[in-house]
Chains A and B, each alone.
Chain A
Amino acid sequence: MKNLSHLIQQAALLCCLVIVLSISANAASPQSILGGYEAEAKIQDQHFQEFSAKRGQLLFQSTNTTGKPETPSCTTCHSKDPSSAGRTRAEKEISPMALSRSPQRYNDLKKVEKWFRRNCKSVLGRVCSPLEKGDFITFMINQ
């Protein structure tokens, strides 16, 4: 019985999340995107406290072997410094990841999700958790 109420609680939260996400789908702010990830993170881990810019930085700078060999790290394309521009593998310039340098960033959930989906797969060989996404954005909006 306890399990069932827990399940209902989770389902309700998930519904709320879906509504929040769909409302904020295209015209979101970095804060509302973070709010969405926070709600998701809480579902995954009830002990979730808050996102950490430090963890985000470690993720950004980490070198991995689980993804594609050409892209072991976020910094492969985005450059080591979040406030400087990067280059795609086709050598087109990528605007800096730091929000202070690229104010247009983290405003479009669909776009944010698209790039997490693609790049987590390329660098880590798996999808990123809501916690990782939130940490990453927290790091970038404080840069």
Chain B
Amino acid sequence: MVWDLPLRLFHWSMVSVVFVTLITGYLAPEWWLDIHMRAGYALGCLLAFRFVWGFFGTYYSRFNSFPLSIKDSVEYLLSIIRTQPKTFTGHNPLGAWMIVVLLTTLVFLVLTGLVVLGGQENLGPLASAVNFSIGEMFEDIHEILAGILIVLICIHLAGVFIDVRVFRHPVVKAMITGRKPGSADYTEIPGYGVLRGAILISLGIATVLFIGLQSNALPTDSWRAIKLPTVYGSECGDCHDPYHPSLQTKEAWQVIMETLSDHYGEDASLDEQTVAVISEFLQSNDALSFDTEVSHKIGRTESPSYRMTDTDYWKKKHKDIDQTVFKYPSVGSKVNCKGCHMDALTGRFDDAKIKLPKGDKK
């Protein structure tokens, strides 16, 4: 036995979880963020297990058994070039380095992912600690790391392919059965207490992360729950669902409220007192008083028409949506955010709260 069962389970769980994160990160539409996020949490737990196992696992799983010295690596590289690779029972030096780099990249992917999640979506354990612009910066880093990860995966697969096909080492089979032909068992088997310990630690981490998930809708420095005044809902809401005040700046709201008699071609005039109440509410909760993605990308952006649908960001984000979706009875038109953004009235606009209506075409 070379690879113990927990290590093998870890490896293949990692393969599937990373696969899910890559698919949801690169290919799936944004409202799959929910799945991407959960896969990211799972990845974090798996990495935590691997870290524990790297110190307390069986011999070949432990980091101190990895042949990482420069001397070993150079010798191994030379032996490959001579097409007579030195054999190693555990990892060969290149494989060991691969694992170190892969695991490090994945750790940073999880960490930067949490920063992006906290900053842009106000979700997760860092929701109250990270502001929007830091979240946006880390999104770039997260994407660069994801690119690096893909390159690393390709190198890993190429290495395995060469090992299996060229050098006839059944390394894939070894990662399934745990055994390598002609290799001795590892010398010592740590007690099951260690395994239990590792599982407990992983469960502990999972619990912490779960609490992080549960605290999603709690108010943070970036986002707070505000109560829409009844008069706002009844007056503006008669014609369209009331928009969250963080979707416009104070100045824009003032212009909108002063020009209600010609409100996008509609006479929406109100008595002075009602205008004053609604204006006060909108202006004191405007885009600048929020630090959410939508308050930055749409709220702080001035468009000459004051229409949210005329901002570049709105257009970019909705360009792939089939025009017929906007005509579904449950949506009505492009100005009805709530038709797809389930949390539009709260001003959060979480990616994970997007649900495209299906099958109720006019």
Q: Looking at the complex, which of A7-15, A25-33, A55-63, A82-90 is the stretch in contact with chain B?
A: A82-90
Does A70 belong to the interface (CB within 8 Å)? Answer: yes
Q: In whole angstroms, how far apart are the Cα atoms of A143 and B42 in the complex?
A: 60
Query: Which residues of the other chain, A, contact B240 by a CB distance below 8 angstroms?
Result: 88, 90, 92
Does A42 belong to the interface (CB within 8 Å)? Answer: no
Does B241 belong to the interface (CB within 8 Å)? Answer: yes
Query: Which residues of the other chain, A, contact B335 by a CB distance below 8 angstroms?
Result: 90-91
Chain A 89-123, CB-CB to B under 8 Å as 1, else 0, gives 11111000000000000000000001001110110
Query: Who on chain A is nearest to B338 by CB?
Result: A92
Does B360 belong to the interface (CB within 8 Å)? Answer: no
Indicate whether A118 sits within 8 Å of B336 (C-beta atoms), given known contacts A89-B239, A92-B239: no
A121 to chain B, nearest CB (A): 5
Check A88–B239 contact: CB distance below 8 A: yes
Does B357 belong to the interface (CB within 8 Å)? Answer: no
Check B265–A70 contact: CB distance below 8 A: yes
Does B303 belong to the interface (CB within 8 Å)? Answer: no
B57 to chain A, nearest CB (A): 60
Check B266–A91 contact: CB distance below 8 A: no
Which of A70, A87, A118 lies in contact with B268, CB distance below 8 A?
A118
Check A68–B265 contact: CB distance below 8 A: yes
Query: Which residues of the other chain, A, contact B269 by a CB distance below 8 angstroms?
Result: 117-118
Check A89–B332 contact: CB distance below 8 A: no
Query: Which residues of the other chain, A, contact B267 by a CB distance below 8 angstroms?
Result: 117-119, 121-122
B353 to chain A, nearest CB (A): 20
Interface size (B, Cβ < 8 Å)?
Answer: 15
Query: Which residues of the other chain, B, contact A91 by a CB distance below 8 angstroms?
Result: 331-333, 335-336
Chain B 182-202, CB-CB to A under 8 Å as 1, else 0, gives 000000000000000000000
A119 to chain B, nearest CB (A): 8
Query: Who on chain A is nearest to B334 by CB?
Result: A91
B70 to chain A, nearest CB (A): 68
Q: In whole angstroms, how far apart are the Cα atoms of A70 and B265 in the complex?
A: 9
Query: Which residues of the other chain, B, contact A121 by a CB distance below 8 angstroms?
Result: 267
Q: In whole angstroms, how far apart are the Cα atoms of A118 and B267 in the complex?
A: 6
Check B241–A92 contact: CB distance below 8 A: yes
Which of A70, A90, A117 lies in contact with B239, CB distance below 8 A?
A90
Chain A 62-91, CB-CB to B under 8 Å as 1, else 0, gives 000000101000000000000000011111
Query: Which residues of the other chain, A, contact B333 by a CB distance below 8 angstroms?
Result: 90-91
Check A122–B332 contact: CB distance below 8 A: no
Chain B 252-271, CB-CB to A under 8 Å as 1, else 0, gives 00000000000001111110
**330-349 of chain B: CB within 8 A of chain A:** 331-333, 335-336
Indicate whether A87 sits within 8 Å of B266 (C-beta atoms), given known contacts A92-B239, A92-B240, A92-B241: no
Query: Which residues of the other chain, A, contact B239 by a CB distance below 8 angstroms?
Result: 88-90, 92
Query: Which residues of the other chain, B, contact A117 by a CB distance below 8 angstroms?
Result: 267, 269
Q: In whole angstroms, how far apart are the Cα atoms of A59 and B239 in the complex?
A: 22
Check B266–A122 contact: CB distance below 8 A: yes
Query: Who on chain A is nearest to B335 by CB?
Result: A90
A27 to chain B, nearest CB (A): 16
Query: Who on chain B is nearest to A122 by CB?
Result: B267
Q: Across the A-B interface, give the 9 residue pairs with the lowest CB-CB distance, nearest first.
A: A91-B332, A91-B333, A90-B240, A88-B239, A118-B267, A90-B335, A90-B239, A92-B240, A121-B267
26 inter-chain pairs at a CB distance below 8 angstroms, sorted by A residue, are A68-B265, A70-B265, A87-B332, A88-B238, A88-B239, A88-B240, A89-B265, A89-B266, A90-B239, A90-B240, A90-B332, A90-B333, A90-B335, A90-B336, A91-B331, A91-B333, A91-B335, A92-B239, A92-B240, A92-B241, A93-B332, A114-B270, A117-B267, A119-B267, A121-B267, A122-B266
Contacts A92-B332, A117-B269 aside, 19 further interface pairs with beta carbons under 8 A come to A68-B265, A88-B239, A89-B266, A90-B240, A90-B332, A90-B333, A90-B335, A90-B336, A91-B331, A91-B332, A91-B333, A91-B336, A92-B241, A114-B270, A117-B267, A118-B268, A118-B269, A121-B267, A122-B266
